[in-house]
Structure formats: C-alpha cells, structure tokens
Chains A and B, each alone.
Chain A
Amino acid sequence: MQHVHETGEPVPLMSVDDATGDLVRAARGGDREAFGLLAERSWHRLVRLARSVVGELEAEDAVQDGLVAAWGRLGSLADPDRFDAWVSRIVFRRCLRANRRQRGRVSLDAVPEAAIGCDPAASLSAWQLLSRLAPRQRAVLHLTVVEGMTDAEIAPLLAITPASVRAHRRRARESIARLLQGGKS
C-alpha cells in the first residue's frame, strides 16, 4: 500500500514502525511536540481522505479538529502502533459531522445542472461526481482508488466490515456509472 509523495516518490501509507508507538507513548505522557510530529506525519494522508469526504474547503479544518480531538483521547488508544488507523477514524467521523453541517447550509449536490452536459467526463470534475455519493462511498472510493488500500485495510479505518467496504464501493461505482450515463442521454 503506497501513495505518491509531493516529491513524486512512493512512500508507505500506513507503516507500523516503532517510532509511531514511541511518539504515541510520549504524547500520552503530555509531550505536545511528539504529538505534533505525529500530526505532521499524518497530515497529507488525512487531508487527502478528508478532501474526498467534505471537499477542498473544509478538509483541512476537519483534519485539524480531528487531530486536536485525538490528543484528548490518546488514553483510549489501546495499541499505540495502530495510531494511523485510529486517528483516521476520528478524522472520518469529524468529516461526517462536517457533512451534516454542510447539508444544512449548502447542498453538496449544488453542482450546476448545466455542468452535466453531453460530455460528462470532460465537463464534470472528479469532485463534482464524488460529491454526489454518500460520504462512506466517497471514502471507500478514495481509499481504494487514490490510496490503493485493500478492503481489509479500509474496514478498520471506517469502522465497517470488509463486506460493507465492497458493498459501498459497488454502489459508488454504480452511482458514478449512472451519472456518467445520465450525462450522455
């Protein structure tokens, strides 16, 4: 499981190394700098996930809020080496909350209808299509397509079963196909 870093070099996405566990243990003891380092290391991965769930505007705020919330709950993390999956779950929940707030304000479906034109692939951006899906479907599609994660890796991140991961992905692809076909007709 790898993703492409800013430099273009693939780096491990969820490495379970000793340093993570050590940093978590130090942070539990009140070491803010250690937690800051954990935040820095997780930042890109978490923002990418959040962006796919809540969009560009709210992603970074959701991740920051999630990280601060995680600091307050470090005591409940059973296995310090599983910090990455644990903090992803917290951030994902923050994103779901942000989504509910968004629904109250501006609909995510507020994609201009004119944009769904005769050449959907060209006229609809990835986010415009993605925003039509349910939040869990967006997350599953992101983690599968962008992060290249397996169902077994995605499941604990979203607190669902691998079978649910498959179901969400299937429904997401069906919805995207319908949107693409709808644009054609």
Chain B
Amino acid sequence: MKDPDLNDELSRFEDELRAWGARPPRTPASAARQRVTARLSLARQPIPWLRLAASAALVIVLVIVTWVGAPGPARESAAVARGSFPPPVDPNVVVWVLDSRTTVYFVLGPNGSAKGGVS
C-alpha cells in the first residue's frame, strides 16, 4: 500500500471508524444494568453443591461398576470348577498363569537353600 492517495483514504476510513465506533450505546449503562439484573433472576447460576453431588454420584457409580466387574467369591469358585484358575498351592510356590493352558510354578526354597526349581 505505497499509493499515498490510498494511504490517505485508509487514514480517513480509520478516522471515520474511530468516530463511528466510539459512539455511546443507545441504552445507557444504568438501564442496561437493570435489564441484565432482571434477566438474571430467570437465568440459573450453577450451584457449587450441584457439582459436588454430581461428582459424588460419579464416584458411587464407579464403585458399583468396579464391584460388579470384580470376580466375586461365587464366580471365583465357579471359575475354579471350570479349571480357569489353578488349584491352591503351597505358600512357597509362586504361580504365573500365562494363559489358559500354560501355568508356571516357581518353588521357593528355604532361606539359604539353593534348592528350588521351576516346573
């Protein structure tokens, strides 16, 4: 925009914009305040305790979902009956169930003993 005439016109436009844009609103600020305040009684402001209640409800739902999703004693025994779980083993035995057909047993030897092994 090196055209001096154009720059003049742009400056004129900005002057006009400044005058146009700075005009006061048609509604005075005090009247606007009354109108806005009157509308506030119709608008609901979110109440903090509502958020708190919503969060509490979410936690309760999560707890229930977790509890229902976890294997209960009845389901666990049914799973054992189906063979999904390995039979109970000695406390010195560590069991890794890699998949439904592969179970690895680590037998821990007594303190200081080199005995032990993997089956």
Contacts and interface: CB of A to CB of B under 8 A. Distances in A.
Interface of A: 3-4, 6, 30, 32-33, 35-37, 39-41, 43-44, 47-48, 51-52, 59-60, 63-64, 67-68, 71-75, 120-121, 125-127, 129-130, 141-142, 145-146, 173-174, 176-177, 180-181
A72 B16 CA distance: 37
Contacts of B41: 32
A177 B43 contact: no
Contacts of A141: 17
Nearest to A173: B10
Contacts of A64: 32, 35-36, 39
Interface residues of B, number: 36
Contact of B17 (A44, A63, A75, A126): A126
Given A51-B21, A60-B26, A126 B16 contact: yes
A119 to B, nearest CB: 10
B6 A180 contact: yes
- Of A37, A43, A75, the most chain B CB neighbours within 10 A belong to A43
Interface of B: 1, 6, 9-10, 12-14, 16-27, 29-30, 32-37, 39-41, 43-46, 48, 51
Contacts of B22: 3-4, 48, 146
Interface of B is mostly: helix
B23 to A, nearest CB: 8
A146 B33 contact: no
Interface of A is mostly: helix
Nearest to B41: A32
B25 A44 contact: yes
A19 B96 CA distance: 66
Contact of B46 (A72, A126, A142, A146): A72
Contacts of A67: 36
Given A60-B32, A177-B1, 7 more contacts: A36-B33, A43-B27, A47-B25, A72-B46, A75-B46, A121-B9, A121-B13
A30 B6 CA distance: 53
Contacts of A126: 13, 16-17, 19-21
Contacts of A177: 1, 6, 9-10
B71 to A, nearest CB: 41
Nearest to B14: A145
Contacts of B9: 120-121, 177, 180
A73 B44 CA distance: 10
